[in-house]
A and B are shown apart, each in its own frame.
Chain A
């Protein structure tokens, strides 16, 4: 029910810079995920939006109104914590307390609590003490409490991490359904990339207090703005190989080996003044073949290397291939792998479609193409 704008937010704790000049716009009614490894500053950012923490520098806007100095008590937000933070009393009281503070009448509270409890599926437990509930139900109570008071924005701090995988999937679906119905603004902090990719309309990927990229699931996975985003998302993360542009025929080389003949790419890079860049591609976008490659094909990057390590993961294999001292990973499903009959320290040819690769600047690790 609100759009949020963060302008030049910085936060320091003593000498530690938790957030460095963060700018972010979260649209009205979107499910926005903030994803990053532990210690990247994502929780601090959420707490600044909640008003639990004041930024050292920068402003927070709710619908273009500056709320930077407004404390959490009157920002009218709902928060759901990782460990649910329930009040040690009954389920009913937990959901009702914020409503009492908001000045709802007794009859309204009764009605609203029942309504929400039914929606979340804990209406049978209203009279129970929260200690008697299992983990999933506790988190449902926290969710119901957050929803009951109809806040301007929901702030979620890894609320599903402690649930078992199946319950987590079900809760995620419920959350997504609910959000599509109620059109609420939700900010969702998580370190779990699957959670972010599955749930979010848009994702901000953070690292060391800096936002590396903001985009849809598809964008951040397939077109990472920085090498960090490419590396962090996916298992395994994106492959990066240092390549050079040949000034004579504009081909792309790994060491002395030419891997890509299309002169347009080489020219573009040279025009940008870069003759050395990082080539990035995802492990599942590589095709391995035994026969010799047509090195003149313009639409493929072709690499002939040596298999160094083969790892079995049950549903798939990951093959590590070495070329000129660089290494990259290839993800193969079991049937592909069995067809190829690969073995360690044998030669193999790898193909990557030209539209599946990215190029990154070596100096600042940002994507160029």
Chain B
């Protein structure tokens, strides 16, 4: 069928605007039926990259290869891509049906085909009941669904989606994310999705490419990136509000260990050995809230234990997120019940070595 096992390959793409590098040597490849999430903060070059793949912007160097064919010089409509922009440009005076049908009519498909295709897609996206409604009478969530339906109705090798779930309230976003993923596996589409929300990328992507300042800084399966972020800044970006950090310095003889959470802490001998083996004098230890423990008393802590101040909690219905403070560090712990402590009371905080990550203070890179 195709000459390559990859539907799309992007090789060494470079793009500059007015001397400023927007994309620096971007390469990745995608197999049929896969969903690749390009994750990066706003302004990291995600949209430009999608536009280059679609052929709306021309790269300075590098190749876009679709089905084994270099498409650098092909116009957008000959590349076999379908693109949804963040702004959801629906035709306001047209009905939902007409909106979704418009790309198919442009491709001169017959009525029967169009009806069948629209029926299929709209049923999956649960918008079959609003087909007659005008586009400007839709709610935010409906607009998003219609825009996605329009993009997917068109036959294409690759679907490019730019922030398809942004600007939606949390509940609808949550539901739409699942539907979207189901749709992808049912239809077997190859999708590249750009997003600035880490939870979108983790939940949706078969693979995630992390784009910071126009360069790929890490790529891999969502859980691989989540459990082994290459750099502390990636860890903070992905898990900012549940990440616990401690700075630790170890003197050259490996005898004295000091931290930025004071002098009074106990450390498990095995963990101390690990810290000494790391050939770095100044490290940042991180641990996610679901493994960190905060309680009145902690009997066995295989890691670092410190006494902090209980500053509050969040009740989320199914679980509690506890907050404790020690010096300038805030620690968070996810658990299913609330310990018997009041605000301002002393609590013990344990950062187990299980799932703990060590980063270099100097470079921020992952050590272990």
User: Which residue in chain B gives the minimum CB-CB distance to A337?
Assistant: B223
A161: Cβ under 8 A from any B Cβ: no
Q: Which residues of B contact A37 (CB under 8 A)?
A: 169, 171
**CB distance B317 to A198 under 8 Å?**
no
Known pairs A37-B171, A197-B315; A315 contacts B182 (CB<8 A): no
Q: How far is the CA of A345 from the CA of B334 in the complex (A)?
A: 30
Residue B159 at the chain A interface, CB threshold 8 Å: no
| Count: A-B pairs, CB below 8 Å | 95
Q: Nearest CB to that of A164 among chain B residues?
A: B241
Q: Which residues of B contact A345 (CB under 8 A)?
A: 185
Interface size range of chain B in the complex: 35 or more
Q: For the complex, what is the distance from the CA of A331 to the CA of B319, rounded to whole Å?
A: 12
A315 touches B242 (CB 8 A): yes
Query: Which of B170, B178, B242 meets A235, CB within 8 Å?
Result: B170
* B6 is an interface residue with CB less than 8 A from chain A: no
> B223–A235 contact, CB under 8 A?
no
Chain B, residues 164-195, CB within 8 Å of chain A (1/0): the string is 00000111001001100110010000000000
Are B343 and A177 in contact, with the CB atoms below 8 A?
Answer: yes
Chain A residue total in the interface (Cβ 8 A): 43
- Measured between beta carbons, the chain B residues less than 8 angstroms from A311 are 177-178, 181, 203-204
Chain B proximity of A241: nearest CB distance (Å): 15
Q: Is the CB of A333 within 8 A of B290?
A: yes
> What string of 1s and 0s marks CB contacts (under 8 Å) between B298-339 and chain A?
000000000000011111111100010000001000100000
Q: Is the CB of A194 within 8 A of B288?
A: no
Please name the residue on chain A nearest to B198 by beta carbon: A314
Of the listed stretches A14-22, A88-96, A167-175, A271-279, name the one at the interface; the rest are far from the partner chain. Answer: A167-175
Cα separation A237 to B172 with both chains bound (whole Å): 11
B271 near A: Cβ within 8 Å? no
With contacts A311-B177, A312-B226, A315-B242 taken as known, whether A221 is within 8 angstroms of B317 at the C-beta atoms is yes
Also in contact, A314 and B170, with CB within 8 A (given A166-B330, A198-B314, A234-B318): no
User: Does B318 contact A197, Cβ atoms closer than 8 Å?
Assistant: no
- A98 contacts the other chain (CB 8 A): no
Closest B residue to A283 using CB positions: B318
B199 contacts the other chain (CB 8 A):
yes
CA distance A87 to B349 in the complex (A): 42
Cβ of A233 within 8 Å of any chain B Cβ, yes or no, is: yes
Shortest 4 CB-CB contacts between residues of A and residues of B: A173-B312, A311-B203, A169-B312, A221-B317
Measured CB to CB, the residues of B under 8 A from A are 169-171, 174, 177-178, 181-182, 185, 199, 202-204, 222-223, 226, 238-239, 241-242, 288-290, 311-319, 323, 330, 334, 343-344
Chain A residues within 8 Å of B, Cβ to Cβ = 37-38, 165-166, 169-170, 172-174, 176-177, 193-194, 197-198, 217, 221, 231-237, 282-284, 308-309, 311-316, 318, 320, 329, 331, 333-334, 344-345
